[in-house]
Amino acid sequence: MLVKRIIEAIASCLDVSESKVLDLAMATQKRSGKTQELLLC
């Protein structure tokens, strides 16, 4: 799944756990409806 790949990429890039990235993604989606903001690295 593409989303899982993106989450793994963000997690390795930011050196955090995938669950933390997922929590951040959910919070970001609730706020803005997008996850693109997370792809800063």
Q: What is the pLDDT along the chain (41 residues), one digit of tens a residue?
A: 788 888 888 888 888 888 887 887 777 767 665 555 555 54
pTM beyond 0.85: the answer is no
Contact call for residues 28 and 34 (beta carbons, < 8 A): yes
Q: Write down the pLDDT at residue 32.
A: 62
Number of H helices, E strands in the chain: 2, 0
Q: Torsion over CA of 9, 20, 18 and 25, rounded to 10 degrees?
A: -50
Q: Write down the pLDDT at residue 18.
A: 82
Contact call for residues 11 and 38 (beta carbons, < 8 A): no
Q: Write down the pLDDT at residue 9.
A: 86
Q: Write down the pLDDT at residue 36.
A: 56
